[in-house]
Amino acid sequence: MQGMLNKPLIRRLSLIILVLIPFCPATLLARDDLQAWQMLSLNFWQSGPHSASLYMDHRLVDDLSTTGVWVGGPRYKYAAHKNLQLGLGFVYLDVKNLETGSWTYQLRPELEINPRFKISENLSFHFRNRLEVRYIESQSGSNVRSRHRPQLTHSIQWKAMEKIYANTELFYSHETHQVNEFRTVPVGLGFKLTDSAKLDLFYLIQSRRQGGGSDWRHNHVMGTHLIYSF
């Protein structure tokens, strides 16, 4: 316990949070909705620098009263270099309109270019850059969006806990030429459950632009991400 709660670690994590939070346009006290996101990654194949997984995501919205989003699909990763990861994905989404109760599906091919490197023995930086081509039901053509997420991770060896991390993600629409969403994780914790299973617990602030204007909606999210490797 003493090793985890040392003063240099506390100072470093405080700096991480102070750096990342200003990128989120919401104040921490603002809240339009309370949500819970449950994610699952099944890593079913790995050969050298190549790996493949199945990703699934279920989200409870409207103050945890109903399912609002389903996500699922395969993803492929290639470790091109110790400091560079490339990725491809294809996911299916089903999104609920809370006013009408109707569902709208999306098909989303993805491309990722993710630099990463170690800052020190225990501190690492990962910068996920994803391009998404979204085909939305009842809309003609495609909708292109890019996402950019810098993350700082501090490795920890304390009982089951392996890491603590913070990140912020920016969403940019190439159709409207606007930043239309931020997602900020002030704190996330990673645990090793078994040799095959890991679990991330995180708190996330989601801020979304409404209708292309200047109004934003802010949601507080409690999230879990279970990663299982076969």
pLDDT at 222: 98
User: Encoding tokens for residue 176?
Assistant: 């409207």
Of 43, 37, 105, 34, residue with least CA distance to 64: 34
Within the chain, residue ranges assigned H as helices are 7-20
Coil, strand or helix at 210: coil
Phi-psi region for residue 111, left (φ > 0), alpha (ψ -120 to 50) or beta?
Answer: beta
- DSSP-derived letter for residue 2 is T
From first to last of its 230 residues, the chain has per-residue pLDDT tens of 444 445 565 566 556 555 555 555 544 555 689 999 999 999 999 999 999 999 999 999 999 999 999 999 999 999 999 999 999 999 999 999 999 999 999 999 999 999 999 999 999 999 999 999 999 999 988 999 999 999 999 999 889 999 999 999 999 999 999 999 999 999 999 999 999 999 999 999 999 998 878 889 999 999 999 999 99
What pLDDT score was predicted for residue 213? 80
Beta strand pairing call for 33-47 and 216-229:
parallel
Burial class (CB in 10 A: 0-12, 13-18, 19+), 9: middle
**Count of beta carbons in the 10 Å neighbourhood of residue 59:** 19
Rg (CA), the chain: 18
Residue 24 is predicted with a pLDDT of: 52
Please give the Cα distance from 203 to 224 (Å, whole number): 9
Q: Quick one: pLDDT at residue 18?
A: 58
The predicted structure's pLDDT at residue 19: 59
Question: Running DSSP on this structure, what letter comes out for residue 39?
Answer: E
- Which stretches of the chain are assigned E, i.e. beta strand? 33-47, 50-61, 66-81, 84-96, 103-118, 123-136, 143-158, 161-173, 178-192, 197-209, 216-229
CB neighbours of residue 183 within 10 Å:
20
Q: Could you give the C-alpha distances from 150 to 26, 124, 129, 203, in angstroms and in order?
A: 18, 11, 9, 16
The whole-angstrom separation of Cα 52 and Cα 88 is 9
pLDDT computed for residue 212 by the predictor: 76
**What residue has token string 């603002």?**
30
DSSP 22: G
pTM of the shown model? 0.87
